[in-house]
Amino acid sequence: MTESIALELNHVNVAYGEKPVVKDVSMKFPKNQISALIGASGSGKSTLLRSLNRMNDDIATVTGEINFEGLNINDPKTNVYRLRQSIGMVFQQPTPFPMSIYENVIYGLRLAGVNDKKVLDAQVELSLKQAALWDEVKDKLKSSALALSGGQQQRLCIARTLAVKPEIILMDEPTSALDPVSTSQIEETMLELKKDFTIIIVTHNMQQASRSSDWTAFMHQGQLIEFNQTADFFMNPREQKTADYLSGKFG
Ligand SMILES: Nc1ncnc2c1ncn2[C@@H]1O[C@H](COP(=O)(O)OP(=O)(O)OP(=O)(O)O)[C@@H](O)[C@H]1O
């Protein structure tokens, strides 16, 4: 792999109580690329994703190294608030706050103490443009975010994540609650976003991984079976387990 690396995992294990669900995963996520995590339900994809910005802190034990810009994310001394600005997350269900579109986008900036209206206005416009929502909402920024469609709400959540200028965006099945049109809008948005951000997405949908991602990882029973460039992964899998999964033999 010659690309520069956004995130490097070394021997990452995650357990809920006594139950290991991510087992000795080592991998490198390339910068400014989309990497997809696929695998059967319960294979540990979401658990692994949540470990990448310390979302498992209170519910699971995470060991191993997750290296980001010279720091081990998993170090107890890591500032989790700052980490989550650098590594943002978009969830399966759109989660707009019950406030205006504008206030949703700048929520993280307000928390960080930014109050300059010019700065906030500029960031709202930039983030909504990056999330491909600006044209649809520019005339109603003061309206409630809850009045948007599900697909628009999800793009708003992406804009909210982008507004704090992360390096990496984690997406946990971001389109599984959306219709096909909204799904393809989000996929197109992701392709634009990778110019500026690194994206790691968990998806159940193999077509989505093959359409949208540059790299695909297959997880099976907590283990990383294979991580390869998407075209090779689907056309010419290295591992028999990957080939079996792709041909529908299990999962
Ligand atoms: N908070 C939790 N407490 C205990 N066990 C959990 C918790 N969250 C997940 N698990 C278990 O960990 C295993 C891996 O779950 P995880 O959600 O990471 O898998 P997944 O591959 O993302 O599955 P899915 O595709 O269904 O979301 C499963 O056996 C699940 O039941």
CA of 176 to the centre of ligand 1 (A): 16
Q: Which two tokens stand for residue 95?
A: 């989660």
pTM (whole model) above 0.90: yes
For residue 118, count other CB atoms closer than 10 A to its CB. 7
In the chain, % of residues over pLDDT 90:
89
For residue 106, count other CB atoms closer than 10 A to its CB. 23
Tens of pLDDT, residues 62-100: 999 999 999 999 999 999 999 999 999 999 999 999 999
Q: Report the residue among 13, 47, 92, 201 best suited for mutation to probe ligand 1: largest number of ligand atoms under 8 A from its CB.
A: 47
Atom of ligand 1 nearest to the CA of 222: 14
The CATH fold of domain 5-246: Rossmann fold (3.40.50)
Closest C-alpha to ligand 1, atom 1: 59
Residue ranges with strand state E in the chain: 5-16, 19-30, 34-38, 61-68, 71-72, 87-90, 168-172, 198-202, 215-220, 223-229
Q: Which of 45, 33, 31, 22 is nearest to 222 (CA)?
A: 22
Tens of pLDDT, residues 14-37: 999 999 999 999 999 999 999 999
pLDDT at 251: 65
Q: Please tell me the total number of residues recorded for the chain in this structure.
A: 251
Q: What are the residue ranges spanned by the domains of the chain?
A: 5-246
CA of 194 to the centre of ligand 1 (A): 28
